[in-house]
Every structure is written in structure tokens, then in C-alpha cells.
Amino acid sequence: MMLRSLLRSWNTFFFEKQSPTPIALFRIAYGVLVIATLLLLRPDWLTWYGTHAWISLRTMQTIEPGRRLDLFTIIPQTDGWIDALFWGVLSSAILLTLGLFTRINSVIVFVCLASIQQRNLFITNSGDTFLRVTGFFLIFAPAGATLSLDRLTRIWRGKEDVLIRPQSPWAQRMIQIELALLYFAAFCWKVKGPLWLHGTALYYVYHLDAIKRFPVTSWLLRPTMLKLGSWSALTLEFSLGVLIWIKKLRYILLALGLLFHLCLEYSLNVPMFQWDVLSAYILFVDPAHITRASNWIRRRVFASEINR
């Protein structure tokens, strides 16, 4: 009996069809973030990955042996080819954002991102990792089912009507699980360290010169506040990893998570990570609420147009 209800819950969770709007919005955010990551890296494409890069391809293969999905081992090792690979993935990311040939571009973006990171794992940060692993599951998602040029083309060809067809959300669920596991794993790593349990970890974090961004007001750096901050981070990471699945708590936790990441974005120089993680929050929003919000925005826009 229990097994049967478990199976039913599994099927409902992964396969009950729903609007593809959240995954389409995620696709757009994901595409923009990949473009931004590549553009931030643009001045150093050849510095890190070129023929005379900091780490040679041979050294990288010695340090990280074994078979890898790495286009750098296939393409000719010339700066022209390496540059072309970057322009290729940038173009693909733009097309993915627009939702043109979505599936094929999601594959290209994932394979290229994985290759770029495999080529030099020593400059990869958690934001890159998140883009890579979520990119893998995005391949399987109906990411071009709406808000895409693919859909416009299908409507124009008469293959689809204007009503958005619900889709099985299993790939979207995997990205959600990935995000929850990120928080839960981060929590588990932190509770292994005595400084986090003692509440002094943030003292060290906020005195690391290399990752400071904007100044933090001095009263926030007092021992009591830092203790509260350290423990709040632990509580929030646990909650976003585990309690996020409870529907009633979801929006409160997402709001707290948003605040948490915006605070980190203000105070710490870890480019893109906060935005990479926040992009996946869209997937936790109920499609009906997205529709309501978009209708509200549309009404406001039209009202202001009419008033003008």
C-alpha cells in the first residue's frame, strides 16, 4: 500500500504534465548567464585555453587522467580553432536564449561548457559547476516549448495552436533536485567545520581581502552579528535543501534565499555564482503564479499605454 502511494507520488512529481513556462524562463536566464560568463572571460580566452595557456593541455591531462567529454582534445591545437570554439558556444548560447533550435543548442552549450571547464579545472568556480550540471538536464527539458522562436515557427507552420501544451516536467525536477542538493551539500560541508558550528567562520570570510566587494558596515562585523550570520547561513542552507519541498514554506524560503544571495553579491566578489543559483529559483514558482504575474504586468503595461 505504502509502496503504491510512493509510486503514485513519484509519478505525479516527475510526470504530471504542467505548463513549460518555468523551464522556458529558466532557459532564457540560463542562456543570458552563459553569455555573461563567456563575455567576462572574453579577454582571457586564449590566456587560459590557448596554445600558450597557463596550463598546457598535456599537463591538464596528466593531472586529470581518464576519458573526458572534452572538445579541446579533438580540435586542432591552434589559437584560431580555440577562438572559433568560443565564438561557436557564444552563438549557441544566444540561440538557446532566443529558443531557436533549442534542443540542439542546449546540447552544444552543455558539451562546450563541459569542455571549457575540463580544459582548465583550476579556474572553475561553483557558478561554472552549477551551469554545467544544470545544462546537462536542460538538454532533456521541453525548454523551447514556449517563449521561443521554435514555438513561433511551429505556430506559423500550423503544427501548434496558440494554447501552450502542458509537458512532463521530469527534467525540470532534476534541476530543482540539483539546486536543493547544492544547498544540502553546502550545509553538510559546513557542519563538518568547527568554525561554522562555533559561529566564527564568517569573521574569516569577511576579512579575506581578495573576495571583498563593497564595504560592510562595522556593526555587522561584530562577533555577535557574525555568529548570528554564520548560524543563519547554516539554517538557511539546510532549509533550502530540505524544507523547500514543503509547498507552504516554499515562497518564504525563496524570498529568504534571494535576500541571502543578494547580500553575498553585495559583499563578496564571486562573479556570477549568486545569479547562476538564483536563476533556478524560477523553477520552484508555480506556473499558475507566473501566468498571473505576467497577466498583471501585461495589464499594467497596456493600461499605461492607453493612458498615454
Partner 1 sequence: MKTRYNLANHANFEMKKKAYWHRLLTQFGSRELSKAQIFWRQRAKRIAINLFLGFHILAITCWCVPLDTPLFSLGKNLVRPYFLWAGLFQSWDMFAPTPALANSYVEAIVVYKDGSRRTWSFPRMEQLSLSDRYFRERYRKFSENLQNDQNDALWPDVARRIARANSTPSNPAKTVILVQRWSPIVPRADGSYQPEPWDQHVLYGYGVKREDLQ
Smallest separation, CB 205 to partner 1 (Å): 5
- Alpha-carbon distance of 194 to 215, in angstroms, equals 27
Nearer to partner 1, 65 or 308 (CB): 65
Smallest separation, CB 221 to partner 1 (Å): 6
For residues 287 and 22, the answer to whether their CB atoms sit within 8 Å is yes
- Alpha-carbon distance of 225 to 17, in angstroms, equals 46
Nearer to partner 1, 251 or 266 (CB): 266
Q: Which range of residues in 41-49, 93-101, 142-150, 296-304 is near partner 1 by CB under 8 A?
A: 41-49
Among 17, 77, 152, 223, binds partner 1 (CB under 8 A): 223
Smallest separation, CB 193 to partner 1 (Å): 3
Binding mask 239-278 for partner 1 (x = CB under 8 A): ------------------------------xxx-------
φ, ψ of residue 80 in degrees (nearest 5): -60, -45
Binding mask 2-21 for partner 1 (x = CB under 8 A): --------x---xx------
Which residues lie closer than 8 Å to 236 by C-beta, 6 or more apart?
A: 253, 256, 257, 260
Q: The cell 539546510 sits on which residue? A: 238
Task: Count other C-beta atoms under 10 Å from residue 285's C-beta.
Answer: 16
Joined grid coordinates for residue 113: 561548457
Residue 75: Cβ-neighbour burial (10 angstroms; 0-12, 13-18, 19+): middle
Nearer to partner 1, 159 or 247 (CB): 159
Nearer to partner 1, 69 or 293 (CB): 69
Site for partner 1 in 104-163 (CB under 8 A): 110, 113-114, 117-118, 122-126, 129, 132-133, 136
Joined grid coordinates for residue 199: 559561529
Q: Which range of residues in 16-24, 27-35, 43-51, 295-303 is near partner 1 by CB under 8 A?
A: 43-51
Nearer to partner 1, 99 or 127 (CB): 127
Which residues lie closer than 8 Å to 40 by C-beta, 6 or more apart?
A: 271, 272
Among 18, 32, 41, 254, binds partner 1 (CB under 8 A): 41
Smallest separation, CB 93 to partner 1 (Å): 16
Smallest separation, CB 272 to partner 1 (Å): 9
Task: Count other C-beta atoms under 10 Å from residue 195's C-beta.
Answer: 14
Site for partner 1 in 160-219 (CB under 8 A): 170, 173-174, 177-178, 181-186, 188-190, 192-196, 200-201, 203-205, 207-213
Task: Count other C-beta atoms under 10 Å from residue 20's C-beta.
Answer: 26
Nearer to partner 1, 195 or 290 (CB): 195
Binding mask 48-87 for partner 1 (x = CB under 8 A): x---xxxxx--x--xxx-xxxx------------------
Nearer to partner 1, 154 or 290 (CB): 154
Maximum pairwise Cα distance, the chain: 67
Joined grid coordinates for residue 39: 563575455
Signed CA dihedral, 212, 217, 221, 225: sign only:
negative
CA 237 to chain centre: 16
Smallest separation, CB 214 to partner 1 (Å): 8
Strand, coil or helix: 216: coil
